[in-house]
Amino acid sequence: MSTALQLLNNREQFYARLPPIAMASNEEWLACMVASWCVGQGVLPDYLGLEPEQFSQLKQAYFQDQPLPEQAPSGSQLDFSRMLEKEDLVNLLRRYSRADTLEMDWVIAIIVAGCLGSDHLWQDLGLWSRSQLSAMLQYNFPELAAKNTQDMKWKKFLYKQLCEAEGLYLCRAPSCNVCIDYPKCYGSEE
How many residues are recorded in the chain? 190
DSSP 60: H
Q: Is the pLDDT of residue 24 over 60?
A: no
Domain housing 89: 3-186
DSSP 176: G
Cα gap 2→4, rounded to integer Å: 5
pTM over 0.85: no
Q: Is the pLDDT of residue 169 over 50?
A: yes
Cα gap 137→152, rounded to integer Å: 13
135 Cβ neighbours under 8 A, 6+ residues apart = 24, 29
Q: How many domains does the chain have?
A: 1
* Residue 17 confidence class, pLDDT cut points 50, 70, 90: confident
What pLDDT was estimated at residue 166? 73
* Residue 178 confidence class, pLDDT cut points 50, 70, 90: very low
The more confidently predicted of residues 59 and 176 is 59
Average pLDDT, the chain: 81
Average pLDDT over residues 46-53: 94
58 Cβ neighbours under 8 A, 6+ residues apart = 30, 48, 50, 106
Instruction: Say which amino acid occupies 146.
Output: A
